[in-house]
Structures are given as C-alpha cells and as structure tokens.
Amino acid sequence: MFFILSKILYAIIAPTSLITFAFLLYLFSKKKFVLYTGIGLFLFFTNPFIGLHLFKMWEIDASEIKPNEHYDGIIILGGFISTITVGNSQRTVYADGNDRMLQAISLYKNGVSNKIIYTAGTDSIFNIHESEAVLAKIFMVQIGLPDSAIITESKSVNTYENALFTKQLLEKQDSAWHSKKYLLVTSAFHMRRSIACFNKQGINVTPYSTNFRAFLENHNVFNTIVPSYGALQNWTYLMKEWVGMVVYKTKGYI
C-alpha cells in the first residue's frame, strides 16, 4: 500500500501536475491570478539556470577510487531496467539510469571488488515483468561476468527496502558483514536518500555517484532564459527526492 500511495503522491506534486492543475483551474474559474500563477510555475520549473544550480547542490559529487583500494562488495540500486513485448517475446529495455550498472561493471573489471550485489524487485504496480535484479544478472553474465560474482536481491520496490533486504541478504551470507565496507552505486541525485537508508541499516557504504544530470556550463541565453524540458525533468527528480526524504524521515526509514 505504501508503494502505491508513494507513487500517487509523487504524481500529484510533480511540476507538470502543478502546472496542469493551475491551467485547468483557470479554465473553470477564469481568474487571471490563477492564469498568471500557471504561467509563473511554467517559467520557473522550465528555467534551466535555476534547475541546474539547485540540482548541482543536491547531487553528491563523484567519488575517486584510490589505486589498489578494495571493497567487499559493489551494491547497485536498480530502477532503470524493465521489459516490453515485441511480437511473442519479451525484450529487456534500459532507461537512462543504466550508468549505474555500467559503472559497477567497470569497477568490477578494474578489481575494485570481486562481488556485485544488485538490489531491485519489480518497479511496477502490476508486476508485469521479471524482477530487475534477475534481468540485470542475465545481462552481466551474457557480457562475461561470472555468475558466482553476482548476488541478486529481487523483492525490494523502493530505496528503504533496497537497504533492508540487502542487510538481510548479507546477514545470511556473512556473519561479519557489519565490519566490512561496500561501495554504493546509484544516481547522484538519489545518493543522499540512499546513503541515509543504508546507514540506518548499519551497512558501511561509500557513495559512488553516477548518472550525473547537473552539468554547469558557460551561461548563455539558451541555458539561462530559454525554457527547457530538461529543467522540468530535473525538477521532477528533485521534488521526488525531497518528498522521499520527508516521508522516509517521518516513517523512521532514515
């Protein structure tokens, strides 16, 4: 139930929802103040300058792995793999968060760790496809990673459960898990909530941010004034994380 309610809440507070609601309200009320509010919301949420700077402040910076540094496991948080039906078969598709998995594979290949822990169930209310962790493992084995190096956790549907079920998995496999160190791989904008959840469960994680969205370039008319869909999308991610932090804090998840 919490999973479904959280999805509904995120949809309600999304910038596109707020803008749409303002314009729909104007159609019924015909009040100019409501119209101006809708226009103001649109200009604010699509402004690339404001969005980029706030996003840059929220994202956790990139981490540097020192030479010969070793971790007991690389924990990948899912949220970017699903399947679609093509004819009579299912095709695995990868969203823009797949930098998480690619960076983790690179870390493994470079000897940073000999174990990958992929935590992700099915991020779908109707559970219409295989768990993401299973799909990810199939892909990684296909490109040459050994099956024995990849451990999957396939029940979690949110960040809190990622941490909780990963802890349960570690407890079953290693009695000394609490004294070991793990590299936590997720998107830079999602890292604050992720670290808080894993720390709450007592897992010693070092952040390894990926999938950076805030790149502060030289300012010009196109990335300062001209409305941008990318800015609107960034605000959607930001507001989801802010609400998530508040809700998780209220429920004691962090």
Q: What is the Cα–Cα distance from 49 to 216, expressed in whole angstroms?
A: 9
> For the chain, how many residues are written?
254
User: Do 194 and 78 have their domain in common?
Assistant: yes
Looking at 20-34, 79-93, 138-152, which range is the least confident one?
Answer: 79-93
> Domain count of the chain?
2
**What CA–CA distances, in Å, run from 16 to 31, 85, 213, 225, 233?**
20, 28, 19, 19, 9
Residues 6+ away with beta carbon under 8 Å from 130 = 83, 90, 122
Sign, Cα dihedral of 77, 80, 85, 90:
negative
Structural domain boundaries enclosing 7: 2-59+221-251
| CATH number of 167's domain | 3.40.50.620
For residues 24 and 108, state if they share a domain: no
Q: Would 67 be classed as within a structural domain?
A: no
In the chain, alpha helices (H): 2-13, 15-29, 32-45, 48-58, 99-109, 132-142, 159-173, 191-200, 229-251
pLDDT digits (tens, 9 = 90+) for 59-78: 998 888 888 899 999 999 99
Q: Is residue 218 over pLDDT 70?
A: no
Contacts 24+ apart (CB under 8 A), 65-68: 65/107, 65/110, 65/112, 65/208
Assess whether 77 and 164 both reside in one domain. Answer: yes
Which of the 8 DSSP states describes residue 220? -
Residues 152 and 38 in one domain: no
Whether 75 contacts 208, CB under 8 Å? no
User: Is 134 contained in some domain?
Assistant: yes
Q: What does the pLDDT average to over 42-48?
A: 90
- Residue-wise pLDDT tens digits, 108-150: 999 999 999 999 987 655 555 678 999 999 999 999 999 999 9
- DSSP bridge partners of 186: 209
Sign of CA dihedral 194, 200, 7, 156: positive
Both 115 and 138 in one domain: the answer is yes
pLDDT value for 40: 93
In a domain, 34, yes or no: yes
- Which residue type does 205 have? V
| DSSP one-letter string for 123-169 | -STT--S--HHHHHHHHHHHTT--GGGEEEE----SHHHHHHHHHHH
Would the pTM count as exceeding 0.75? yes
Region 192-198: mean pLDDT is 96
Q: What is the pLDDT of residue 252?
A: 92
Identify whether residues 11 and 106 lie together within a single domain: no
Compare 147 and 7 and report the one with higher pLDDT: 147
Asked if 121 and 206 sit in the same domain, the reply is yes
215 found inside a domain:
no
Could you give the CA distance from residue 180 to residue 165 in angstroms, rounded to a whole number? 17
> Based on the domain organization, do 9 and 30 belong to the same domain?
yes
Same domain, 226 and 125: no
% pLDDT > 90, the chain: 51
- Domain assignment present for 64: no
Q: Interhelix angle for 2-13 vs 229-251, to 10°?
A: 140
Q: Are residues 105 and 199 in the same domain?
A: yes
Determine the pLDDT at residue 83: 81
**Count of CB atoms situated within 10 Å of the CB of 190:** 24
| pLDDT at residue number 125 | 55
- For helices 99-109 and 132-142, what crossing angle results, to 10°? 50
